[in-house]
């Protein structure tokens, strides 16, 4: 999964003088270069070594013949007495979570001297902070002398924020990590929007435009001219960092998130216990598997397939998260995932893409850390198709982790029947009492401000208790410790709003002690989703006693819902 190049080259340096560099920056804003502690070990090795390895990990933009190869060629031409090796471990269509599961085997085994990380476009599978921090820590735990540099590429959807100097999405989270770890970052979007504003560049067009640079055809993957813009920025940033920082082992700070993905791995599908209808995929000849061969072979590795419903695979694994791989075909392909004795979770896939079928990851619901069994059952197959299942990603707590965070009620146990204010979720932190995708987004209120929460709590004086949970995203969740006085049937009322995205589904799903309590609650989108509140109801049966209630948000678009409260009313 890596490619190598060797060449011999002569040493040449640029000596420049620079002012002192601040070590902390606003993660919500963008600048072309934030040097922080620089890449001093690389420059020291350029003075002393005859062989240097340049590493890359990221998505398709880095895997393309383009900026990464241009930068590598610059090293070759600039330092002609050194033999350089390029290790390109980028995989199209994958994020930092997958990188954390494979970085040791695909990149670190080749002993890179510097690693350029590119994941702002592809994200981290919904676990962005855990993924990027785990990736960084694995690199430095393997060799603290490896320099790291974050590189931010651009998607068309980012331009509105970048045009006004704002950082975008995953970049905010990575910037927080960069500040804590002293890692330099290069934002390629700053130059792109500069040229857009000067009317020198067209970001997306299928044909040439007279007098302007056309950056890409699809709004994300640069053409040759776009890649040259990228590589020129990276090269000048490398040169600017020449005298920055002190060489030596990088210090690994206290983690930002305790459950980062530094103890992640890949579990072969060949380790699963399978029912009789499965057969091995010939990875050299199978047409579906090879329609997108590099991405599929990277994501699935060995694979099994079957063409009948009710066939099962059972995986034994240890950790708190497991993620499966498949190749969707047609519309309505469906599987159920059951963890241990929990309720089955249904996943539906669709893909009509001609002769190319793109592989997909799908995460099962997060579990308590420990030994688990996951059963995958095929429940629906479009006519004439087979389902393909490959290796699984498994995320465990970091080795030697001893988190002091334990889950407890925020004020007191919530009594049922009664009202639960959405903002009064349990304490314990990320991955324990809640899951928040954007761990850099802080509450816009003083409510619970002393707890250093990442969940977005907003002041709304006209709403219950004067606060709401806002700007939720798909797969985020909150947990509440509850005490049910009497067993019986209850009506659960959710006061919620949803952003008006056309033809999108969004809402919440309620679980009790890890099992689905009722059907999903769909929330009707509104053009004024901070004012048009409505109450949505679902019926459920509750057992008496203490339980943990999880509210999990779902959406087929970027933003999900705002939630004010849940009210439990006993049915007569």
Sequence ranges of the domains in the chain = 33-240, 264-396, 414-570
Rounded average pLDDT over 355-384: 93
Lowest mean pLDDT among 69-73, 232-236, 464-468: 464-468
Q: Which residues pair with 266 in a beta bridge?
A: 393
Q: Which residues contact 357 (CB under 8 A, 6 or more apart)?
A: 288, 291, 292, 296, 327, 328, 329, 351
Spatial separation of the C-alpha atoms in residues 443 and 565, rounded to whole Å: 17
Give the whole-angstrom CA distance, residue 109 versus residue 551. 41
Confidence of residue 101 (pLDDT cuts 50, 70, 90): very high
pLDDT of res. 16: 33
By mean pLDDT, which of 48-57, 190-199, 380-389, 528-537 is the weakest?
Answer: 528-537
User: Residue 339 has which token pair?
Assistant: 């963890």
Exposed e or buried b for every residue in 60-99, given b needs 16+ CB within 10 A?
bbbbbebbbbbbbbbbbebbeebbbbbbbbbbbbbbbbbb
Is 412 strand, coil or helix? coil
The residue written with tokens 């996943």 in the block is: 347
Q: 528 or 494: which carries more pLDDT confidence? A: 494
* 364: DSSP letter: P
Taking only the tens place, the pLDDT of each residue in 122-169 is: 998 889 999 999 999 999 999 999 999 999 999 999 999 999 999 998
On the question of pLDDT at 81 being above 70, the answer is: yes
Q: Give the pLDDT score at 447.
A: 86
* Rg of the chain, C-alpha, whole Å: 25
Query: Residue 423: what are its φ and ψ, rounded to 5°?
Result: -75, -5
CATH 2.40.128.120 fits 264-396, yes or no: no
**pLDDT category, 13, cuts 50, 70, 90?**
very low
pLDDT at 474: 82
Residue 331 · residue 382 · CB < 8 Å:
yes
pLDDT at 18: 34
Closest CA to 311 of 362, 376, 374: 376
How far is it, in rounded angstroms, from Cα 436 to Cα 256? 14
The answer to whether the CB of 389 falls within 8 A of the CB of 325 is yes
Per-residue pLDDT of 287-308, as tens digits, reads 999 999 999 999 999 999 999 9
Identical fold for domains 33-240 and 414-570, yes or no, is no
How large is the angle between the packed helices 128-142 and 96-106, nearest 10 degrees? Answer: 20
What's the pLDDT at 297?
A: 96
Peptide bond into 417 cis (omega under 30): yes
Task: Quickly tell me which residue has 């091995």 as its tokens.
Answer: 280
Structure tokens at 188: 């390629």
Which position has the token pair 């340096």? 13
Q: Are strands 51-58 and 114-118 parallel, antiparallel or unpaired?
A: parallel
Token pair listed for 508: 């919440």
Residues 6+ apart with CB under 8 A from 444: 456, 457, 458, 459
Q: Does position 366 have pLDDT exceeding 90, yes or no?
A: no
Residue predicted with more confidence, 473 or 103: 103
- Per-residue pLDDT tens over the stretch 394-436: 999 887 665 556 789 998 999 999 999 999 999 988 778 998 8
Res 435: pLDDT: 86
Output the average pLDDT for the chain: 90
Integer Cα distance of 187 and 154 in angstroms: 9
CA angle 322, 105, 228 (to 5 degrees): 100
CATH architecture of 33-240: 3-Layer(aba) Sandwich (3.40)
Q: What's the pLDDT score for residue 438?
A: 64
HSE (side-chain half, CA atoms, 13 Å) at 83:
6
Predicted confidence band at 465 (pLDDT cuts at 50, 70, 90)?
confident
The strand pair at 83-88 and 213-216 is best described as: unpaired
Helix (H) or strand (E) holding 69: helix 67-78
Superfamily of domain 414-570: Galactose-binding domain-like (2.60.120.260)
Residue 353 has pLDDT above 90, yes or no: no
Q: What is the mean pLDDT of residues 368-384?
A: 94
Q: How far apart are CA 551 and CA 434, in angstroms?
A: 9
What's the pLDDT band for 12 if we cut at 50, 70, 90? very low
Mean pLDDT in residue range 278-282: 98
Count of residues making up the chain: 572
Report the number of secondary-structure helices (H) and strands (E) in the chain.
11, 34
CA dihedral over 368, 372, 373, 378, signed as positive or negative:
positive
Average pLDDT (207-223) is 96
> CA nearest 263: which of 77, 396, 358, 82?
396
Q: What is the pLDDT of residue 200?
A: 97
- Report CA 244 to chain centroid distance, whole Å: 30
The region of weakest confidence among 81-85, 116-120, 554-558 is 554-558
pLDDT mean over 209-224:
97
């Amino acid at each position: 999964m890596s490619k190598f190049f060797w060449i011999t080259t002569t040493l040449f340096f640029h000596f420049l003088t620079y002012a002192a560099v601040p070590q902390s920056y606003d993660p919500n804003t963008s600048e072309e270069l934030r040097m922080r502690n620089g890449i001093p070990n690389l420059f020291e090795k350029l003075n002393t070594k005859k062989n240097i390895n340049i590493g890359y990990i990221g998505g398709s933009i880095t895997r393309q013949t383009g900026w990464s190869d241009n930068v590598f060629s610059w090293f070759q031409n600039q330092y002609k007495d050194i033999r350089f090796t390029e290790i390109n471990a980028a995989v199209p269509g994958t994020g930092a979570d997958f990188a954390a599961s494979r970085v040791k085997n695909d990149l670190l085994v080749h002993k890179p001297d510097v690693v350029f990380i590119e994941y702002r476009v592809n994200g981290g599978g919904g676990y962005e902070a855990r993924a990027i921090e785990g990736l960084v820590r694995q690199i430095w735990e393997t060799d603290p002398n490896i320099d790291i540099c974050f590189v931010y590429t651009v998607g068309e959807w980012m331009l509105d924020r970048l045009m006004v100097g704002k950082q975008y999405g995953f970049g905010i989270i990575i910037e927080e990590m960069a500040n804590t770890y002293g890692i330099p970052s290069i934002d390629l979007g700053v130059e792109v929007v500069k040229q857009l504003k000067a009317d020198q560049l067209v970001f997306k067009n299928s044909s040439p435009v007279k007098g302007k640079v056309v950056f890409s055809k699809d709004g994300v993957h640069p053409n040759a001219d776009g890649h040259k813009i990228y590589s020129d920025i990276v090269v000048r940033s490398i040169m600017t960092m020449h005298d920055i920082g002190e060489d030596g082992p990088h210090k690994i700070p206290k983690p930002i998130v305790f459950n980062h993905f530094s103890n992640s791995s890949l579990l072969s599908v060949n380790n699963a216990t399978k029912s009789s209808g499965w057969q091995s995929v010939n990875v050299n000849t199978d047409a579906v598997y090879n329609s997108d061969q590099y991405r599929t072979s990277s994501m699935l590795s060995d694979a099994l397939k079957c063409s009948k419903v009710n066939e099962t695979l059972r995986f034994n694994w240890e950790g708190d998260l497991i993620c499966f791989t498949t190749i969707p075909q047609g519309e309505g392909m469906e599987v159920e995932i059951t963890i241990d004795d929990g309720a089955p979770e249904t996943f539906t896939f669709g893909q009509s893409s001609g002769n190319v079928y793109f592989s997909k990851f799908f995460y099962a619901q997060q579990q308590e850390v420990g030994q688990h069994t996951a059963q995958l059952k095929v429940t629906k197959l479009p006519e004439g198709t087979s389902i393909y299942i490959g290796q699984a990603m498994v995320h465990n707590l970091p080795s030697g982790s001893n988190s002091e965070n334990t889950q407890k009620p925020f004020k007191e146990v919530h009594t049922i029947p009664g009202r639960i204010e959405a903002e009064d979720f349990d304490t314990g932190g990320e991955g324990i009492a809640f899951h928040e995708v954007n761990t850099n987004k802080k509450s816009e209120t003083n409510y619970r401000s002393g707890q250093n929460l990442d969940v977005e709590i907003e002041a709304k004086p006209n709403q219950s208790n004067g606060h709401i949970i806002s700007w939720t995203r798909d797969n985020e969740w909150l947990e509440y410790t509850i005490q049910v006085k009497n067993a019986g049937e209850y009506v659960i009322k959710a006061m919620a709003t949803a952003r008006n995205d056309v033809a999108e589904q969004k809402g919440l799903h309620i679980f009790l002690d890890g099992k689905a309590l009722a059907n999903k609650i769909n929330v009707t989108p509104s053009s004024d989703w901070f004012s048009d509140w409505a109450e949505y109801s679902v019926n459920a049966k509750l057992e008496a006693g203490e339980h943990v209630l999880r509210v999990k948000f779902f959406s087929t678009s970027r933003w999900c819902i705002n939630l004010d409260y849940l009210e439990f009313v006993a049915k007569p």
